Amino acid sequence: MSPPRERAGPRAVAVNVAANTNQPGFRGPVYPDGSFAYVPIPESAATLPRERFPVDEPLPTYADLDLPFPVPADLRETPVHMDPELPGVHGRDRATYGDPHGVKAGRIVDLEPGDWLFFYATLSLRPHGWAGPDEAPAEGGERDALDADGDLAPDWGAYLFAGIRVDRVLAVDASASGSSGLVDRDAAAALAPTNAHLKRDPFDARVVVAGDPHASGPFERVVPLSSPESGADASRLVTALSSDSGKGPWWRRPLAFDADATATLLDRIERG
């Protein structure tokens, strides 16, 4: 038997998360210098009563978020799906992510300790001091008017904004007899007790990731996946480095990166 080959380095998967024009009706902002705000989506599933959460904490609402702008009044008491959890963001101190969707879970389950799970979002270019979605400026061709960095799309774009360095991935054993297709809830609760999927009724995660809280979190500056010309056009990070063609609605799909591509991404993230 041949000895196992040493890995060339960490690999990565990037998945789309966060607020969008469908949920809750607006995208989070990216500012002219590439800084940003992470806005979770609303919680769309039924949830357990608080006393049945693995950890005694409330279900957060938009009013609980640490955002640099006000959310619309009719959203303030809406519960949010706080996933991913990012250390130091919106009061969280763990690095976790869960997903119920087979397309994304199928990519994530191949990650190993030391690999990266990146997160990207579609963000709208907004001025510093933006007053929030109730007073959104007219979109379209704003980059020059805002004196924005030249790598940002002029209206909206897809941007990497955070990452989890993987410690452990929990996934279902599809070959097991009677498999439900879901992660074992007790195992998930032990690994990632504050993850949003453990608050859902029923629990629905096909994969759960826990990461190193010291190495994981938001970036100082977004990394554009869209071209500077248009949010719908993929940059070279997608077309040349990822598993995706960059055609069609690529910004909704999981993107896989091999070891060489991941090294390039990590360097790009480090440079800001």
Ordered per-residue pLDDT tens for the chain, 272 residues: 445 556 689 999 999 999 999 999 999 999 999 999 999 999 999 999 999 999 999 999 999 999 999 999 999 999 999 999 999 999 999 999 999 999 999 999 999 999 999 999 999 999 999 999 987 555 554 677 888 999 999 999 999 999 999 999 999 865 554 456 899 999 999 999 999 999 999 999 999 999 999 999 999 999 999 999 999 999 999 999 999 999 999 999 999 999 999 999 999 999 87
- pLDDT at position 137: 57
Phi, psi (degrees; rounded to nearest 5) at 133: -65, -20
User: pLDDT at position 10, please?
Assistant: 97
Token readout for 188 is 């998930």
Q: What pLDDT score was predicted for residue 92?
A: 97
Closest to 214 measured CA to CA, from 90, 35, 93: 93
pLDDT of residue 173: 63
CA-to-CA distance for 116 and 150, rounded, in angstroms?
27
Taking all residues of the chain, what is their mean pLDDT, rounded to a whole number?
A: 93
Q: Say which residues have a Cβ less than 8 Å from residue 96's Cβ, sequence separation at least 6.
A: 83, 84, 85, 164, 191, 192, 194, 195, 208, 209, 210, 211
Q: What are phi and psi of 181, to 5 degrees?
A: 85, 0
The predicted-structure confidence for 234-259, as pLDDT tens digits, reads as follows 999 999 999 999 999 999 999 999 99
